[in-house]
Structure 1
């Protein structure tokens, strides 16, 4: 039986979004070699807001910034901004593939968090999947390995803040317009980082770097727009396994742009995290939405 065209289109859109996020991570890694990661995250959200405003503000007007739960929206946006700072700081200090794989445990953390704080029932396999994911992390940052050290805590911290962001997203579902939630989150992250980033301000070294700063926001916003379109055409539960294209693309981009490829043990850890996530997602036990950056 062939998949209907709408399903294939939604899968293609989600894969495109995941590849866009991996490309964003590569750009952020490159820029973070010469600029503070907080400044890179600031540019990512400022230009993201600009793109979304240009696309949606003319037709949505004030609806794009209207919310019934402003405190939850602000907290969600803060989690989003902090998660990006943590991840960009981590990916600046370690290979992209490994950093992305560590952050990819976030959906399983969301499931656990929903059980602990939202009172949801634990889906079958939650605890073994959490254990398997952390086993994958330990294979990546194993004692004696090249990545053993504090930098590995940064993408792990990013995963924790992504968990908070996703749990708050659940609490806002059905309360505010979905696009408004997406826009307000980026707007709050941009505002927070606008306060914090000036202390670490560095001008781009040349026009290419300036263009890359702008591109962080453009690529990030493009990825989000693809996500929105994907979920307009397809079932969220059916799409969830394909969000793990992101760590696969991170391996390719890490090799292509930085000449970095995981060793055999790290690759086993990455595979364990991804396979665990895909199995849980395919069985409908993980959040249907992928990690949003």
Structure 2
């Protein structure tokens, strides 16, 4: 592997973090005037249409035949749950703080990997989990204004994301990446269409509708950037750069919503990021 290849992977991973942060900030903006359910429905329709246009001409309807349909269904439902819960959190909480709390997901993977995959965590990983939860407590500290029931939403979305990662690991190479992503998008689009009678009030104006559709394009693009990044660098090397999404979310929150986290929130965000970086470093050592 040439020296340029890890750098390419890192740059692509940083671009993916920026794409996901922009996706969340645009979702928060659109949900304020159109509602959470409408935004997610249009986003999943656009995502599924884009993936189907890409995959079906290449592989035909055979791409929909998967080897582990139950796991694929659970994976799709877990991603839909993440979208519903986290966008609800963004509609009630500042972008930076909600993103930081959501990023305890890699630490929750350590907790859930034991009962679901039979993997054991070492003392260093347990320490990283404890520090991460300490960071969450600092962010939602009493008197800080964020200790509300809404703060449980990004914690719940982080738990769903941890489950999503573990299901992805269980599926592994039993199904192709194209089939997995298309199946996941179709599960989300179908689920939101079934909920349509609960929130239908007519289509939003075309500019807003196009903006919602662009969320699907951004989401697919972000995941594609990560996929290509993993071709150049190992996930262990790239894991720390995912935490740049917290920084990007903080900057976008300032630019788009005129929100600056206070000193305590910034401290908690930093603690969460450091705990995740520490966990990634421990995984890197274990990998070597």
TM over 0.5: same fold?
yes
Aligned to 2:256: 257
Aligned to 2:44: 45
Q: CA deviation at 1:49?
A: 1.3
Aligned to 2:269: 270
- The worse-fitting range, judged by mean Cα deviation, of 161-170 and 203-212 is 203-212
Aligned to 1:282: 281
Q: CA deviation at 1:204?
A: 5.0
**Does structure 1 conserve the Cα–Cα contact (< 8 Å) formed by 2:125 and 2:282?**
no
Taking the aligned partners of 2:81 and 2:284, their CA distance within structure 1 comes to 27
**Does structure 2 conserve the Cα–Cα contact (< 8 Å) formed by 1:123 and 1:285?**
no
**Does structure 2 conserve the Cα–Cα contact (< 8 Å) formed by 1:45 and 1:190?**
yes
Taking the aligned partners of 1:158 and 1:192, their CA distance within structure 2 comes to 17
Aligned to 1:186: 185
- The worse-fitting range, judged by mean Cα deviation, of 276-285 and 170-179 is 276-285
Q: CA deviation at 1:63?
A: 4.6
Structure with more of its chain in helix, by fraction: 2
**Does structure 2 conserve the Cα–Cα contact (< 8 Å) formed by 1:35 and 1:202?**
no
Taking the aligned partners of 2:7 and 2:62, their CA distance within structure 1 comes to 31
**Does structure 2 conserve the Cα–Cα contact (< 8 Å) formed by 1:124 and 1:285?**
no
Aligned to 1:54: 53
Q: CA deviation at 1:205?
A: 4.3
Q: CA deviation at 1:56?
A: 2.8
Taking the aligned partners of 2:196 and 2:125, their CA distance within structure 1 comes to 38
Taking the aligned partners of 1:178 and 1:270, their CA distance within structure 2 comes to 33
Give structure 1 stretches of 5+ with no counterpart.
289-293
Aligned to 1:291: none
Taking the aligned partners of 2:99 and 2:203, their CA distance within structure 1 comes to 26
Calculate the TM-score normalised by the size of structure 1.
0.92
Taking the aligned partners of 1:43 and 1:30, their CA distance within structure 2 comes to 15
> CA separation of 1:197/1:129 partners in 2, compared to 1, >3 Å: closer, same or farther?
farther
1:87-98 to structure 2, matched below 5 A, reads: 87-98=86-97
> CA separation of 1:197/1:142 partners in 2, compared to 1, >3 Å: closer, same or farther?
farther
1:257-276 CA-partner distances (Å, limit 9, x unpaired):
11111100000000000111
Taking the aligned partners of 1:211 and 1:249, their CA distance within structure 2 comes to 23
1:79-101 CA-partner distances (Å, limit 9, x unpaired):
10011100000001110000000
Calculate the TM-score normalised by the size of structure 2.
0.94
Classify the secondary structure of the residue corresponding to 1:262. coil
**Does structure 2 conserve the Cα–Cα contact (< 8 Å) formed by 1:22 and 1:249?**
yes
1:119-167 CA-partner distances (Å, limit 9, x unpaired):
1121342222111111111111111211110111111110111111111
Cα RMSD for the two superposed structures: 1.8
Taking the aligned partners of 2:31 and 2:46, their CA distance within structure 1 comes to 17
1:14-50 CA-partner distances (Å, limit 9, x unpaired):
1111111111101110011122212222222211111
Moved over 6 A (4+): none
